[in-house]
Structure 1
Amino acid sequence: QQGPPSLQLSPAAKKTIIEQSPPFIRVPEGASIKMTCLLKTEAKEEGVYLMRGRAADEKVTYVSKDGNRPFPNFNGRIEASGPAKNLTITLQQLRQSDSGLYYCLGVMHGADLPAAKGTGTLVIVTGTLCHIDSSGASHTQMKSAGCMLASWLPYVLVSLGLTLISLVGCILPRVNVSMPLLKFLIYFRFGK
């Protein structure tokens, strides 16, 4: 099977425009994102690369009429839908290491127009997605020590609060308090 064509931008690439959206995405680790590459050209396209890096030097996937061919770092985590001229790419199970600038690169048929580059999408992947429901159960898309710690946090805070209230309740009645308002509050709250 023949590999994807080589990547080279030519001066004639100015005749082709690639609109890429959205320009910026910020998501938690474990989430999915969608990017759209819209090619406006009269030339015949061979396919579209999704590249990563400021110099668009890391290949993410190549989509052509023959299908989607992800590169190793994204194998099993990427889907493509639609024709090459109006392509939607979905990146799944994102990791913090997936953060970066992603470019759509249209590969055109013919020697005079090898490729055109999109405007780019900046993807920021933040810490692990962690949700704690009312029962204190932790639900994650990706297990992590931070999420497990967060599931215990409400219990720890309640325990500390009850301990502090118990200490105040035991110590304050034994303290010689000369202020009338404080005496009243202690009497009202704890009795004699």
Structure 2
Amino acid sequence: MVGLLGLLLFPLLQAAGEVWQSPRKTIALEGDSVNITCSTPGTLHGIYLKKTWPNNSDVIYYEDGSEPTVDPWFQGRIAYSGLQSNLTISLYHLQLADTGGYTCVAIMDDKIFGPGTLVMVTDQLPQAANTCQESWPIHFALPTALAVGFFLIGLGLGAVCVLIRTQVSMDPRVSPVSLEAHFSQRA
């Protein structure tokens, strides 16, 4: 019985020790901003957003009801909203040096690390990002063209069927009366 109870409660206990973080990766232009959301169930003492790569720093430590602690590098370029169990942290006026890995760390009885967010700050969007934006009309036009093409093919086949049916009914040798007589004689 105790084993069954433990088995049923295990997912709840495991979920209490998880940190969800989004997005997993983002690309931003220099001067833009990004939002990183950290959320976790359970009782927290506080939550960190740490820069874990290429150098380590505590970007912000937030605890409900207390003034947050912000790294001097991010002072004046950071905002937050929500509670510590579902906190969105906004980094503003991004600089190339802000590129790196950022991890949410929930402070419970232990430290629970989130999966991390890779932030890439560039002075220009990568070519792949430009290509995706430019190819959008192509991706939209292809299914539309296929749908119109199949509609026209169906319309053409329908017209051919109507013509064949009209030719059969115009044939003097085959009339509805003669067909009716033919089938009634067989019965």
TM-score range (shorter-chain normalised) is 0.5 to 0.7
Alpha-carbon distance in structure 2 between the residues aligned to 1:115 and 1:57: 16
Counterpart in the other structure of 1:18: 19
Q: Is the 8 A contact 1:52 1:101 kept in 2?
A: yes
Counterpart of 1:28, as a letter, is L
Moved more, 120-129 or 49-58: 49-58
Choose the corresponding residue for 1:124, options 106, 120, 123.
120
Counterpart in the other structure of 2:41: 40
Pick closer, same or farther for the CA change 1:71–1:47 going to 2, 3 Å: same
Q: Which runs of 5+ in 1 are unaligned?
A: 1-11, 130-192
Pick closer, same or farther for the CA change 1:128–1:93 going to 2, 3 Å: farther
Counterpart in the other structure of 1:99: 99
Q: After the TM superposition, which segments of 4 or more aligned residues of structure 1 sit over 3 Å from their partners?
A: 12-15, 54-57
Counterpart of 2:78, as a letter, is I
Shift in Å, 1:128: 6.3
Please list the CA deviations of residues 52-71 of structure 1 after superposition, one character each: whole Å capped at 9, or x if unmatched: 12498311111112132211
Counterpart of 1:89, as a letter, is I
Counterpart in the other structure of 1:60: 59
Pick closer, same or farther for the CA change 1:38–1:104 going to 2, 3 Å: same
Alpha-carbon distance in structure 1 between the residues aligned to 2:71 and 2:27: 23
Equivalent residues in 2 for 1:1-192, closer than 5 Å? 16-41=17-42, 44-54=43-53, 57-65=56-64, 66-108=66-108, 113-127=109-123
Counterpart of 1:40, as a letter, is P
Q: Which SS does the other structure have where 1:97 is aligned?
A: helix
- The structure where strand makes up a greater share of residues is 1
Shift in Å, 1:88: 0.4
Q: Compute the TM-score of the two structures, normalised by the length of structure 2.
A: 0.55
Percent identity for Structure 1 against Structure 2: 35
Q: Which SS does the other structure have where 1:17 is aligned?
A: coil
Q: Is the 8 A contact 2:100 2:118 kept in 1?
A: yes
Moved more, 15-24 or 120-129: 120-129
Q: Indicate the RMSD between aligned Cα atoms, in angstroms.
A: 2.4
Q: Is the 8 A contact 2:54 2:101 kept in 1?
A: no
Please list the CA deviations of residues 142-190 of structure 1 after superposition, one character each: whole Å capped at 9, or x if unmatched: xxxxxxxxxxxxxxxxxxxxxxxxxxxxxxxxxxxxxxxxxxxxxxxxx
Shift in Å, 1:114: 2.4
Counterpart of 1:127, as a letter, is D
Please list the CA deviations of residues 43-84 of structure 1 after superposition, one character each: whole Å capped at 9, or x if unmatched: x21111000124983111111121322111111111111010
Q: Compute the TM-score of the two structures, normalised by the length of structure 1.
A: 0.54
Alpha-carbon distance in structure 1 between the residues aligned to 2:17 and 2:55: 18
State the number of aligned residues.
112
Structure having the higher Rg: 2
Q: Which runs of 5+ in 2 are unaligned?
A: 1-12, 126-187
